[in-house]
Structure 1
């Protein structure tokens, strides 16, 4: 059975290394497209796109190469199987780095949508005074979450491991050396139980708020300029809005759903190592999936892919089409 086969630490680690080998060239090409193939008229979103691409790639590499977290479900404990485990660096360091990266990915998604909303609609509005404190507050919350986790980590790890395996004797039963298992938290605490779900909910609300607001604003703008553009241009605007929906679906489905399901497993005291490993593997596909989607949905990046890998001639740029026509109109509003 699939879950049984990926329960083994060696098999699980091999799968993550394979995913890293596949995702590395995709992330590098995505970064190349953002840095060198972003048209001049899209320069306002270039930094936000690169920021998202960077943190998504960092999360992927943390999971598939450096950390490779192997969780001892349902205990709040685990170990690293990746490159960090080959060094003398304490497990807490890569664990917190991976945790912070995981929190900064949705923050970068919020920043990308906020950037599009600001550039297209409210550059001269009051929001320009609020946006930086808002974005800084999101980063502070992500860091504060990791700090709060750090202070909950028990100092005496040997004693903590004994308590964990007394309560959950089957946890990490496939790990030969139990001494390398790192305990993050022991006991029951209301604050610990609601901390992660509360932060996930807040991030989801922010992403949905900006996505819906941006979609409504764009529809209103398309209606205003409806009489001055062709039917083909209007259709391109609809495709752009649909692309935004897909860009929301990727982080929602590949990050938040596995994280929520993993939290549910822990709450139910379910010892299902294979399922927990599968959820981590699914999460590791987040960045590469988002990068592929970005290349496919953005015409300049899609054209660059065909030029580089399919030996097609460089296509002519259509100055008055799609996104550029709408942005040119909005720039003079």
Structure 2
């Protein structure tokens, strides 16, 4: 029984079937998340509305690209794959599908940076010199990521030669019963300078996320200490919940993204009974990152949580209160 399940998970047919089920569950959740951001965002959160929608859009796009539109079946342990999704069925070229997925994957952390930067700017430095540099900084991030992905696209090897090498080295791929023409070899050899470039770009993006995350946390704590004596305990607790929500909303999706990457690197050095099934399980897990992010957003942000309760539980929405006793910081603290 267990071996049959593992075999099903490791097969292209099982892989595609499971992903269609995942996409069927995730699509309405993403759609409802979009509705909440666009139509249920409160006035106190209006300054973060579009950066939040930007993050939600790219997260949802990544989920649906992997689980429905492209469904890339990565041939473990190579840098080769073949698409099984609806876009491949209508004849979209494999190289464009892979370029699109990788670009969307890289745009997700960049959109996280945009959201962090937005909250940092609105809360603390909206009148400082940073307002002159923020847009060039944000645009530069997008340019760097898109350029990096385009370089990878240009380095895709000659497919006729690369696929011959692939099947010669891994003849078991013939068992997939997929036409050879459906395969795409993204890279036939991972050179050291390519690894260095990849690590550098990913580290650069992660460093920005960490820096803005730390700045936000430290600044919020310092501001709370300064105004703690002039505000009610209820308002102070609201600020603490805001910090916790911010951390969870970003940290958990990031963990979901990078756990499969780390696990994939570890499993290469280990002896796995069915490496393809194991790799597919990681891909299933990875494809849930956007759904988790959306669910967390709906739960952690009060206006969206009230919208969920009013729509699905027939509960009347509770009017949000804006605390003004703390002056300027408390009025903007939930934006």
* Shift of residue 175, structure 1, vs aligned partner: 3.9
SS of the residue aligned with 2:73? strand
- Residue in structure 2 matching 1:48, options 51, 62, 65: 51
1:145-192, Cα deviation, whole Å (9 max, x unpaired):
21111121112x222111112223334743443332111111241122
User: Which residue number in structure 1 is paired with residue 168 of structure 2?
Assistant: 166
Gaps of 5+ in 2: none
Partners of 2:250 and 2:332 lie apart in 1 by 25
Distance 1:105 1:4, change over 3 A: same
How is 1:40-189 mapped onto 2 (pairs within 5 angstroms)? 40-155=43-158, 157-171=159-173, 173-189=175-191
SS of the residue aligned with 2:81? strand
User: Which residue number in structure 2 is paired with residue 296 of structure 1?
Assistant: 299
Distance 1:152 1:221, change over 3 A: same
Partners of 1:173 and 1:196 lie apart in 2 by 32
Distance 1:31 1:172, change over 3 A: farther
User: Which residue number in structure 2 is paired with residue 229 of structure 1?
Assistant: 231
Q: Which range moved further: 189-198 or 236-245?
A: 189-198
SS of the residue aligned with 1:6? helix
* Shift of residue 25, structure 1, vs aligned partner: 1.1
Aligned residues: 330
Distance 1:41 1:172, change over 3 A: farther
SS of the residue aligned with 2:126? coil
Distance 1:28 1:196, change over 3 A: same
Kindly indicate whether the alpha-carbon contact (under 8 Å) linking 1:236 and 1:322 is maintained by their aligned counterparts in 2: no
Partners of 1:245 and 1:322 lie apart in 2 by 26
1:13-39, Cα deviation, whole Å (9 max, x unpaired):
111111111111111111111111111
* Shift of residue 202, structure 1, vs aligned partner: 1.8
SS of the residue aligned with 1:74? coil
- Residue in structure 2 matching 1:26, options 29, 34, 44: 29
1:295-322, Cα deviation, whole Å (9 max, x unpaired):
1000110000000110011212222289
* Shift of residue 330, structure 1, vs aligned partner: 6.7
Instruction: Return structure 1 stretches of 4+ with deviation > 6 angstroms.
Output: 267-271, 321-325
Kindly indicate whether the alpha-carbon contact (under 8 Å) linking 2:122 and 2:332 is maintained by their aligned counterparts in 1: no
Distance 1:199 1:172, change over 3 A: farther
Q: Normalization by structure 2: what TM-score?
A: 0.92
User: Which residue number in structure 1 is paired with residue 15 of structure 2?
Assistant: 12
Kindly indicate whether the alpha-carbon contact (under 8 Å) linking 1:296 and 1:302 is maintained by their aligned counterparts in 2: yes
Kindly indicate whether the alpha-carbon contact (under 8 Å) linking 2:23 and 2:67 is maintained by their aligned counterparts in 1: yes
User: Which residue number in structure 2 is paired with residue 318 of structure 1?
Assistant: 321
1:205-229, Cα deviation, whole Å (9 max, x unpaired):
1111111110110111111111121
Kindly indicate whether the alpha-carbon contact (under 8 Å) linking 1:31 and 1:53 is maintained by their aligned counterparts in 2: yes
Gaps of 5+ in 1: none
* Shift of residue 143, structure 1, vs aligned partner: 0.7
Q: CA RMSD in A?
A: 2.4
- Residue in structure 2 matching 1:217, options 216, 219, 227: 219
